Amino acid sequence: MNFNNKFDKKIISFPQMGNLYIPVCALLKAMGADNVLLPANNKQTLTLGTRHSIETMCLPYKMNLGNYIQALEMGVNTLIMFQAPGTCRLGNYAKLAEAKLRELGYDFEMIVFDLYGGKFKEVINKFSLATGNKSMISALKGIRAGLAKFNALDKIERELLYLRPREIKPGKAEKIYKQGVAMIHKSESPRQIKEVVDEIMSRYSKVNIDKSKEILKIFLTGEFFVLLDPFTNMNIEKELGLLGVEVHRQIMLADWIGQSLIPKIIRKIETHKERAIRTAQPYLKRIVGGECIESVGDAVYAAEQEVDGVVHIGPFNCIPEILSQCILPHISRKENIPVISLLMDEHTGKAGFMTRLEAFVDLMKRNKKVMQIA
Amino acid sequence: MKIGIPRGMNYYNFYPFWHGFFTFLGIEPVLSSKTTKKTVLQGSQLVVPETCLPVKIYMGHVLDLIDNKKVDVIFVPSHQSIAPKIYNCSKIRGLPDLVRNVVKRNFLLIEPTLDKSEKKQGLYEYLYESVAPLGITDKKLIKKASKAGWEYQNRFNAMMRSGMKLDEALDCVVKGKFVEHKEDDTGKYQINVAVLSHAYNLYDEKVSMKIFKKLEDLGIRSYIAENLSMDEMKKGFMVLNTHLYWANEYEVTGAAGHYLVDKKIDGVITLTSFGCGPDSIMVERITRYAKRLSKPLLNLTVDEHTGEAGFITRLEAFTDMLLRRKRESVIKSLSKQFGERKEEKLVQNRT
């Protein structure tokens, strides 16, 4: 079937996931697509998604479906779905969502990005299909701007994660970060983006921090979507930061993009996944799909790096994360590192979630004191 | 030499092969006892509550082998993929890793990997990994043993296709017999129902709560995926307008596709364990198509807390519904025939 002529004018939308919208918007804009930006994931998205999906489905699917319904209500007729490498239920989602939306009576077309094996060409082809753009030059321009935005976002986010627990007056760094995100979203050329990053960095340097404060360092690892979407993970980074914990999130957007798109031969450094496969060896010998091996590998790596603890998050009923959840307590005992697993679903309450985090932070603090005495 | 094989997960599909293979090499396979309440309890203490019931039971069986059967070599295979990019569920793929991490006992874990997506992880490598830790490294001998294994497996498959019960078929296979099932039951049962699930759910009496016996008591003849040939199941995928995604999807989606359009079948029952990821998607698809093809469908979900009474009630209600439906269709066709005859008479009278 030829999809190209189904709609005269394509109005595109894509699911929200944390800051992913900024680079994607840049790319779509460069290719001249008519793009509708959805509001960031919120309660309504979750309600819509939950209402129309099976109960045992995982949170990322529910969010995506909610996004699609919101988009179609806003007059969008072309939906984009991302399918990153990894073999959990994700491979079924595009089809499942499409069937459900057709059942609900919407008329649209769906373009699926299949990133199995990291095919750079496939992405460009699909983007051309989505935007109707045949010019390679503008596509490359868009990709360059997108990649620059990925790197810029990572840079200001890393700084925020460093500053947040050390701030004397909490909230200032967060404010600057939010300004930075908005500015990066608005800027167009790589040069402009660089200026924005410099500006934000100089603003960061004016934030008063307590350098002598004793800071706990943790690794935040787990399932990809939950890790990167602040609404879904209940802003865990911020909450931990306010409790005086420096968070090292193990998956950053730019790293991930680099690893899934750039071919193996060009790449020089060890990717996150390769590192995880190496460190997870005594506990998990095979890749079992999803981010299971990353979660397990990160926990072992954290112990090697003498980090104070590991926070593992994932959606409820995620198949690979259940496996890593079973393995993590064993690692915790053997490698002597505190690990907490938090699985979220639509019923997770913030209060209970916070109590568990606070208890975990207390435990790490006590642990550290005992270690110092001994 | 003894090797312990837990009675769970892939046991129900591949045990005949393993039996033939290991006995040929002079290794005695030892099975754990059948699933009991204790197996479930012990197993579920080892893993997180979200894990699905069959995996919990599997852990229970591993413990049973070590504690009660006193075997210290346990065979836990990892079936990664059966064809390029056709993967199994994560829990099946990582089964040996799970056992290694949660079972705190002293034993030798034999963990061969079958991964057809990789170049050098096919059947012979898998079999080599299965016996190399036991000191058998002669590749020619392993090849011969594999042939012996296939002999057993093929015999078993043929017996299952002819409609034999799993217990009987396994019994015959282990004894080296081949018996064709020749029971003529036309007209014996009023209703035919297809029961679809993975073998480890269906044939574990603790999980499926003896569903076959319950159905038979209600006067229902049950059909299963093992009665179908591979071609029939492949056609089933076309009926449901999908393609193979999971390695163990044939027995659910494929069979469902076949039975949903089979006129002989009055209704379809699916049995899934709570929290099963692949099944949740398969069942969603089956439900959608059952509605379109107007075939009655009953989705049963089980976990370790499922009560038998509620299970029976649902089966009875479904049976009642099927009976009423059948009666209605019979009456309809009768009245149609009757009506036609009446008209014929009228026509005759006029002439």
Shortest distance, CA A184 to any CA of chain B (angstroms): 39
Whether residue B183 lies inside any domain: the answer is: no
Place of tokens 């609404």: A231
- pLDDT over threshold 60, residue B83: yes
**Residue B336: band (very low, low, confident or very high) from pLDDT cuts 50, 70, 90:** confident
Tokens standing for residue A204: 């960061």
Based on the fold, state whether residues B20 and B166 are members of the same structural domain: yes
Based on the fold, state whether residues B168 and B215 are members of the same structural domain: no
B74 or A348: which leads in pLDDT: B74
Which residues 27-86 of chain B have a CB within 8 Å of chain A?
47-48, 50-51, 78, 80, 85
Question: In degrees rounded to 5, what are phi and psi of residue A333?
Answer: -70, -45
Shortest distance, CA A203 to any CA of chain B (angstroms): 46
The domain tally of chain B equals: 2
A54 or B47: which leads in pLDDT: B47
User: Does the distance separating the beta carbons of B87 and A284 come in below 8 Å?
Assistant: no
Domain finish residue from B145, B175, B205: B175
pLDDT in tens, B227-258: 899 999 999 999 998 888 888 899 999 999 99
User: Does the distance separating the beta carbons of B94 and A323 come in below 8 Å?
Assistant: yes
Domain finish residue from B175, B203, B228: B175
Which residues 308-347 of chain A have a CB within 8 Å of chain B?
316-320, 322-323, 325-327, 330, 341, 343
Whether residue B288 lies inside any domain: the answer is: yes
User: Does the distance separating the beta carbons of B288 and A283 come in below 8 Å?
Assistant: no
CB atoms within 10 A of CB A304: 10
**Residue A179: band (very low, low, confident or very high) from pLDDT cuts 50, 70, 90:** very high
Based on the fold, state whether residues B247 and B294 are members of the same structural domain: yes
- Crossing angle (nearest 10°) for helices B139-161 and B123-131: 110
Based on the fold, state whether residues B132 and B280 are members of the same structural domain: no
Based on the fold, state whether residues B232 and B97 are members of the same structural domain: no
Based on the fold, state whether residues B24 and B71 are members of the same structural domain: yes
CB atoms within 10 A of CB B346: 10
DSSP string, B81-98: EEETTEE--HHHHTHHHH
Whether residue B68 lies inside any domain: the answer is: yes
Based on the fold, state whether residues B69 and B112 are members of the same structural domain: yes
Reduced to 3 states, what is the DSSP secondary structure of residue B129? Answer: helix
Tell whether B281 lies on the interface with A, counting CB pairs under 8 A: yes
Residue type, B279: D
The CATH number linked to B252 is 3.40.50
Whether residue B184 lies inside any domain: the answer is: no
Q: Cα A305 to the chain's mean position, in Å? A: 23
User: Does the distance separating the beta carbons of A285 and B97 come in below 8 Å?
Assistant: yes
User: Does the distance separating the beta carbons of A317 and B50 come in below 8 Å?
Assistant: yes
Tokens standing for residue A195: 């200026």
pLDDT in tens, A111-146: 887 765 556 667 667 777 777 666 777 778 888 888
Beta-bridge partner residues of B86: B83
Contacting residues of A for B276, CB less than 8 Å apart: 56
Based on the fold, state whether residues B240 and B123 are members of the same structural domain: no
Based on the fold, state whether residues B171 and B195 are members of the same structural domain: no
User: How high is the ipTM of this complex?
Assistant: 0.88
Across the interface, of A89, A285, A330, the residue whose CB is closest to B277 is A89
- Average pLDDT over chain B, rounded to an integer: 90
| Distance separating alpha carbons of residues B251 and B249, to the nearest angstrom | 6
Domain finish residue from B175, B208, B224: B175
| Beta strand residue intervals within B76-188, DSSP E | 78-83, 86-87, 108-110, 113-115
Tell whether B292 lies on the interface with A, counting CB pairs under 8 A: no
Whether residue B349 lies inside any domain: the answer is: no
**Residue A261: band (very low, low, confident or very high) from pLDDT cuts 50, 70, 90:** low
Instruction: Pick the closest to residue B65 from B131, B134, B1, B5 (CA basis).
Output: B5
Based on the fold, state whether residues B31 and B155 are members of the same structural domain: yes
Based on the fold, state whether residues B63 and B161 are members of the same structural domain: yes
Whether residue B340 lies inside any domain: the answer is: no
Whether residue B287 lies inside any domain: the answer is: yes
What's the angle, vertex CA B348, arms to CA B344 and CA B350, rounded to 5?
120
Tell whether B121 lies on the interface with A, counting CB pairs under 8 A: no
How crowded is the C-beta side of A20, counted as CA atoms within 13 Å? 23
Range A251-280 average pLDDT: 80
Q: Round the CA-based radius of gyration of chain B to a whole number and report it.
A: 23
pLDDT in tens, B183-200: 777 677 889 999 999 999
Whether residue B154 lies inside any domain: the answer is: yes
Q: Give the residue numbers spanning the domain of B24.
A: 2-175
Name which of B90, B102, B248, B302 to mutate to probe chain A: the one with the most chain A Cβ atoms within 10 A of its Cβ.
B90
Based on the fold, state whether residues B43 and B125 are members of the same structural domain: yes
Tokens standing for residue A70: 């919101």
**Residue A6: band (very low, low, confident or very high) from pLDDT cuts 50, 70, 90:** low
Q: How many inter-chain contacts (A to B, CB under 8 Å) are there?
A: 92
| Beta strand residue intervals within chain A, DSSP E | 11-13, 34-35, 78-83, 109-114, 216-222, 245-249, 309-315, 339-344
